[in-house]
Every structure is written in C-alpha cells, then in structure tokens.
Structure 1
Amino acid sequence: MNTYENKRFWKYILLAFALVIAAGSLIYTNYLVRNIARAERTRAQLWALSIRQSLTSDDNDFLPYVLTVRDSLAVPAIVTDEKGDIKTVRGLDTTKTYIDLPPDMPTNGKAPKYDPAYFKGELEIMKSQHEPIIINLPGLGHGNNLVYYKDSSLLTQLKMFPYVQLSVIAVFLTLAYSTFNSSRKSEQNQVWVGLAKETAHQLGTPISSLMAWLELLKDKFNAEEDPLVLEMENDVKRLEIVADRFSKIGAKPKLEEHYVYDVVKDFVDYFKVRVSAAINFEVTGDKNLVAGLNIPLFDWVIENLLKNAVNAIEGKGSIRINISDNKTKDLVYIDVTDTGKGIPRSKFATVFQPGYTTRKRGWGLGLSLTKRIMESYHNGKVFVRDSEIGKGTTFRIILKSINDHA
C-alpha cells in the first residue's frame, strides 16, 4: 500500500468511526423520544379522563384535585366529535378561537381572533403525529369524542436535537479540516520552495564545472563536432534548465509568447533519443498556435507526461502529441496519447495526488508537479481526457491562446 492509499485508508477509518458516533447518537436519542412519546400519550389519556371526571363529578371537595391533575397533565390537544367538528382545545394559541363569538359578548377589548384555519391546521398536524384517544365526554355532543394531541415543545426539540448536534459537529469538523489542510499545504509549500531553491543552488557549482571540463575536452582533443561530446553538452545544458526550473519555484515566472508546436517538438526531439528505440514519437497539429509559456517549466510538464507515457508502455509502442485549438474559447489543446496499459476511470483524478504511484520505486510527484505548474504558473489545466485499460491513455493540456501571431 503506497503513501496515498494509506492516507485514504485512514480517512475511511475515521469516516466510519464518525458514522458510528452519529448512528449511536441518533439511536439513543430515538430511544429517549420513544419513551417520552409513550409518557406523553399516557398524559393525554389521563387528561382526557380527568376532563370526563370534571364534567361528571358532583364531589365539590374532590373536583379541585381533578382540575389540578387535568391542568398539570395537559398537552397541546383538540377534542372533536365523530364528525370531526372541533369541540374544545387545550394548550394552543390563546389569542385565537375556533368559534365565531357572539357580537354582544363582553370582551374587554381582548376578544380572541376568529381563526378556524389555524385550528384546522393544528388538527392536521396532530392527526399526522398520533392516533386519537377515543373517549365519551358528556356535554360535548352525542357519541364518542376523539382527543387528538401533538408532541410537546420538549419532545419536538429533542427530536431535532441530534440533527442540530450533528450539523454543528459537521460544520466544526469542516472548518477544522479546512484550516488544518490550508495550514498543512502552506507548510508543504514552504518546505517545497526551500528544498527546490537549495537544490538549484547545489546543482549550480557542478554544472559550471562540467561546462568548463567540456570546453577543455573539446580544445584538447579537437572534438568540436564529435557527436558524443555534443550529446554530453546537450545533457549539461539540460541540467542547467533543471536547475533553472527549481530556482523558479515559489516565484511567479514570466510568460512569453511562443509557438506551442515548436516548443513541444524541440523537447520531444531531445527526449526521444534518450528512451527505448521501440517507442515511436510523433508530433502533429497546428504549427501556428501561440500561447504564453515559460519554457523551462513548460518543458517540465511535457517531460513528466512523456515519462509517464513511456513507463505505461511495456515494450513496443507509440506516443503521439497532437496540438489543436478551440477558436470559440481561444484555447490551445495539447493531447499526449500513448499505447500503454491505461488508467482505471476511478483513478483519473487520483493520479495527480502527491504520493500516488503504481511504480515500486516511484515518488508519485511527477503528475502532481505537472498539475501545479499548469494551474499555478500557466493559468491552464491538465487532466486525463480518456483512457482504456490495455489500450492507452490521453492526457490533455489546456492553455489560453494568443491570436496575434495566428
């Protein structure tokens, strides 16, 4: 298991642990809700019985106790007859009434507002929450009466509590993760910039020495045109470019206008003689497309994609780089297509993650650097356009085109 997959494994473990905590919170809260709901139904039944007792009792000494019990057990409730007509209510908005009061009724300026729609709505809520309690209440119509009730505010709040709690925890974890991730990336960037600049500094001295030794070699053996010496000189110049790349990390590079085809072709010509002859290279497309490029960094992008393609090809194969444009959006497309082993669709985004690699001795940084260079320094994009297992992969680079030279 590589570093990236190991990190992802632990993320899944932590996610599973969080889900267990959330599920436990919901289960326990639901357990409390069921117990309170049963207790509230018992209270509603006792309230209904206490109403009947208060309506039928002739014991004036006992009646105050009945009324006290009735009031202490009250939950928001509506009593209807068998037809559904409201007969009495309890625990609802006291500023409203379900019956039209007589106009001559004394109100002292505080008459409840006639609002049958409110009580109808409350009744529908109660019907949706609980089955009614059936009881016969003298004086409230013939036949049985139906006592509907709804959850108390305490029970409603308790039902909502786990969701509020989990939401708050989720927001907190999201903010904490974002802050931690931002801090970690900033720290990684600082380490990366420091390491890159130190590498460029360390490479400077031996590169200068090698250039001097090459000049002495050419003079001593009259080897100005010797192909081996020329290739050595090309490699030393390449080392200069690599050192220059590292020195530019952390600073905004200057982009200059270049013909994209020429830049890509020059690098491919350098690169292809340094890999297996069994791999065929081809550069095709529009030669007149211009884009803003920093050549040392952009060559690094092409190099990483070509190395990735070479590693994907087992034995004989081909790599084709096609350059095209989207005139409507002023974009330049560079498609790098290989005949390698392919990438699973589930890994299209993963291959750009730092540390992800399928090679036993790979660091998993090449494509991650490619993405960083394109997005941070060239305002472009790079992604897996298409891939098929056993047939090959196409990476696409997108750049903003400059039409002045087209």
Structure 2
Amino acid sequence: MNPYQQKKRWKYILVTFAIIIASGSLLYTNHLVKNISKSERTRAQIWAMSMRQMTSSDDNDFLQYVTAVRDSTLVPAIVVDEKGNIKYVRGLDSTKTNINIPGNDKVKGAAKYDPEYFQKELVYMKKQHEPIELTMLNTRYMVYYKDSALLQELRIFPYVQLSVIAIFLLVAYTAFNSSRKSEQNQVWVGLAKETAHQLGTPISSLMAWLELIKEKFKAEKDPLMAEMENDIKRLEIIADRFSKIGSKPKLEEHSVYYVIKDFVDYFSVRVSSNINFEITGNPYLQAGLNVPLFDWVLENLLKNAVNAIEGKGKIKVEISQNKTKKNQILIDITDTGKGIPRSKFDTVFQPGYTTRKRGWGLGLSLTKRIVKNYHNGDVFVRDSEVGKGTTFRIILKKTNNDKQTTTR
C-alpha cells in the first residue's frame, strides 16, 4: 500500500470514529431528553389535577398544600375551554399581562394584554405535546404545555457541544497539518540541496572526460559526442533545479512556444520512435518563466504521457491564448494513452500517488507546486477518457502585449 492510500485509510478511520462519538452523544442526550420530557408531562398532569382539586375542596389546609404543589411546577402551560378560548396561562412572559386580572389594561403603567403572543404560544404547544383533559365544575378544559427552558436548552446542547468540538478539532488539525507540512518541506529542501551538491563533482568530471575523448580521438564533430554534451548539460540543469528548491526563482520573459519546442526536441530523441510529437501554437505568446524549473514541469508531464502510451501513440502540445481571459496562456498536452478515471483527476497530483510499481508518486505533485507556487499559474487534468487518452492543461499569465515581438 502506497503512502497516499495509507493516509486515505487513516482519514476514513478517524471520520468513522468521529461519527460514532457524535452519534453516541446524540443518542445519550436524546435518552435524557425523553426522560425529562416524561417528567415534565407528569408535572403538567399534577398541575392540572391541582387546579381541579382547588375548585372542589373547602379544606383550607388542603388547598394550601395543593397550591404549593401547583406553584412548584414550572412547566409553561395554557388552559382553554371547549370553545378554544384561553382561560389561564402559566410560566409565560409576564410582561404580556396575566389574562386572569380583569381591567389590568386600565391600570396606569401596567403592560397591555397581547392576545397574539398567547395565540402563537398555544399553536406552538399544540404542535409539541398532546393536551391533558380536565373537567372542572361540569366544564371540560384542555391543558396545553410546552417544554421548559431547561429541556429546550438540553435539546440544543449536543449540537452546540459537537460544534465546539468540531471547531477545536479543525483548528488543531489545521495547526498540526501546517506544522507537519513545514517540517516536510524543510526535509525536502535539505535533501534537494544536498543532491545538487553531490551531483556537482561527477558532472564536472564528466565534462573533463568528454573534452579528453574529443581531443584524443579527434571527435569534436562526432554527433555522439554532441548528444553526450547535451546529456551532461541536462545533468547540470537538473542539479540547478534541485539547488533552487526552497528559494524563490527568478522569472524572465520567454516565448512559451520556443521553450517547449527546445525541450521537446531534446526529449523526443530519448524515447521510443513509436511515439510522435506535435507542437502547435502562437510563437509570440510570452510568459514569465524560470526555464530550468518549467522544463521540469514539461519533463514530468511528457514522461507521464509516454508511460501511459502502450505501443504506438502520439503526444500533442497546443499553445494558445485564452479567448475569455486574454491575459492567460493555455498549454494543452494531449496523449493517446490509457487515460485516467474521472474520480482520480485530483488524486493524481497528491504526493505518493502512483500507478507504477517502482514510482515514487512525486512527479505530478512537484509539477503542481512549480506551476502554482513559482509561476503563479495552474495545472490540472482538463479531460480524460479511459482507453483513449488524457489532456493536461497548464495555465500561465501572459506578460507581453506586442504580438510581433518574442524572446527565446
């Protein structure tokens, strides 16, 4: 299992545990809510029965006891008669005036009765719970009630709790991930610079040996010597690339067409002759490029295209100006290889992802970083169909306005 798949599996495991914890919290809180809800219905029933007892008893001591029991229930309630008229309320907003006080609206400074408020509360109570029937003095009443403030807060509490936990985990994960990436970047930068340093000595030796061979065998014009020189220069470029990692590269204006053409000319003679290369586009489109690093981008994408082609095939590079955004240059690299499933369009740029047994899964990840971080552009899979081929698109910022001037 490659590192990307392992990391993905761990993410699924952590998400599963998080869902289990959240579900357990919600189930337990729901259990508490049900128990408290049963308790509050019992309270409402006691309150209703106490009202009935107060109307049917003449014993003052008993009435005091019943009154104490009634007043101890804090469940908000509304009593209505058979016609739906509100006769009594309890535990609601005291500023709306107790409807059982006649003439209260005439008292100076007293709050006025708000019938709309009580009607809304009644509708809400009818939706929450079944009413409690009550018969007093041969008249049938219905007692409606709603959850107390404590129970309502308890219903909301698990969601608040989970939100706080989620925010904390998100902040912790972001901080941890940022720290881990910074540490990884330092390791990669150190490794890259050390690689560049180690390559320096053998490259210098190869250049010296090549000059000795030319002189000894009179082979200055031998085409094989020329190709060896190209390969040594290529090694110098690779060493230079690694030495630049970790520092901001200098961008210079270049013709995108000619930079790509120079690299394809070098690359095409070093792969199978069964693969044909084609370059089309406007040679006057210029962008700010660091050529050694941009060649690395082309190398990774073209190698990826070559590996995707089994047998004969074609790789086409099209360079054009974006028709809707005139300040963008579009580079489409299309191959006739085996294609990429749509579900893997983003995954292919993840570090460690590879379909090759001996691959490290770093090529396309480095490509993405070089284009986005160093050239302020973007690279993505524009289109792909399994069995037919893939098109990668690079977007660069156009720097020149004069179409008839270009710098190689």
Give the structure-2-normalised TM-score. Answer: 0.95
For 1:79-98, list aligned pairs within 5 A: 79-97=79-97
1:98 and 1:119 in contact (8 A); partners too: no
For 1:8-19, list aligned pairs within 5 A: 8-19=8-19
Q: Deviations over 1:119-145 (max 9, x none)?
A: 11211221111111111133xxx7311
Rounded Cα–Cα distance in structure 2 between residues aligned with 1:75 and 1:102: 24
Amino acid of the residue matched to residue 10 of structure 1?
W
Equivalence for 2:230: 234
CA-CA distance at 1:387 after TM superposition: 0.3
DSSP-derived class of the 1:61 partner: helix
Equivalence for 2:309: 313
Matched, 1:115 2:114: yes
Matched, 1:43 2:43: yes
2:336 and 2:390 in contact (8 A); partners too: yes
Q: Deviations over 1:204-233 (max 9, x none)?
A: 111111111111111111111111111111
Q: How many residues align?
A: 402
CA-CA distance at 1:47 after TM superposition: 0.6
Amino acid of the residue matched to residue 402 of structure 1?
T
Amino acid of the residue matched to residue 324 of structure 1?
S
CA-CA distance at 1:167 after TM superposition: 0.6
DSSP-derived class of the 2:5 partner: helix
Q: Deviations over 1:152-177 (max 9, x none)?
A: 11111111111111111110111011
Rounded Cα–Cα distance in structure 2 between residues aligned with 1:404 and 1:47: 85
Q: Deviations over 1:4-62 (max 9, x none)?
A: 01110111011011101111111111111111111111110111000111122111121
Equivalence for 1:166: 162
Rounded Cα–Cα distance in structure 1 between residues aligned with 2:21 and 2:206: 63
Equivalence for 1:385: 382
Where structure 1 has 5 or more consecutive residues not aligned to the other structure, the ranges are none
Query: Does the C-alpha gap of structure 1 residues 52 and 100 become closer, same or farther in structure 2, counting only changes over 3 Å?
Result: closer
DSSP-derived class of the 2:387 partner: coil
DSSP-derived class of the 1:14 partner: helix
Matched, 1:257 2:256: no
Where structure 2 has 5 or more consecutive residues not aligned to the other structure, the ranges are 404-408
Amino acid of the residue matched to residue 388 of structure 1?
E
Query: Does the C-alpha gap of structure 1 residues 103 and 17 become closer, same or farther in structure 2, counting only changes over 3 Å?
Result: closer
CA-CA distance at 1:196 after TM superposition: 1.0
Matched, 1:221 2:217: yes
State which of 191, 194, 213 in structure 2 corresponds to 1:195.
191
Amino acid of the residue matched to residue 363 of structure 2?
G
Amino acid of the residue matched to residue 125 of structure 1?
Y
Rounded Cα–Cα distance in structure 2 between residues aligned with 1:102 and 1:143: 21
Matched, 1:53 2:74: no
Give the structure-1-normalised TM-score. Answer: 0.96
Q: List 4+ stretches of structure 1 deviating above 3 A.
A: 98-107
DSSP-derived class of the 1:404 partner: coil
Equivalence for 1:129: 128
Equivalence for 1:247: 243
1:97 and 1:112 in contact (8 A); partners too: yes
Identify which range, 345-354 or 189-198, moves more after superposition: 189-198
1:290 and 1:405 in contact (8 A); partners too: no
For 1:344-355, list aligned pairs within 5 A: 344-355=341-352
Amino acid of the residue matched to residue 342 of structure 2?
R
Query: Does the C-alpha gap of structure 1 residues 5 and 169 become closer, same or farther in structure 2, counting only changes over 3 Å?
Result: same
Identify which range, 294-303 or 129-138, moves more after superposition: 129-138
Matched, 1:155 2:148: no
Identify which range, 154-163 or 142-151, moves more after superposition: 142-151
1:100 and 1:114 in contact (8 A); partners too: no
Equivalence for 2:359: 362
Amino acid of the residue matched to residue 170 of structure 1?
A
Rounded Cα–Cα distance in structure 2 between residues aligned with 1:223 and 1:136: 119
1:284 and 1:321 in contact (8 A); partners too: yes
Give the superposed CA RMSD.
1.6
Amino acid of the residue matched to residue 265 of structure 2?
D
Query: Does the C-alpha gap of structure 1 residues 380 and 159 become closer, same or farther in structure 2, counting only changes over 3 Å?
Result: same
1:99 and 1:116 in contact (8 A); partners too: no
Amino acid of the residue matched to residue 352 of structure 2?
G
Query: Does the C-alpha gap of structure 1 residues 291 and 106 become closer, same or farther in structure 2, counting only changes over 3 Å?
Result: closer
DSSP-derived class of the 2:60 partner: coil
CA-CA distance at 1:110 after TM superposition: 5.2
Query: Does the C-alpha gap of structure 1 residues 191 and 250 become closer, same or farther in structure 2, counting only changes over 3 Å?
Result: same
2:105 and 2:111 in contact (8 A); partners too: no
CA-CA distance at 1:103 after TM superposition: 5.6
CA-CA distance at 1:189 after TM superposition: 1.1
Equivalence for 1:145: 141
Equivalence for 2:297: 301
Rounded Cα–Cα distance in structure 1 between residues aligned with 2:312 and 2:139: 93
- Percent identity, aligned pairs only? 72
State which of 392, 397, 402 in structure 1 corresponds to 2:399.
402
Rounded Cα–Cα distance in structure 2 between residues aligned with 1:403 and 1:349: 31
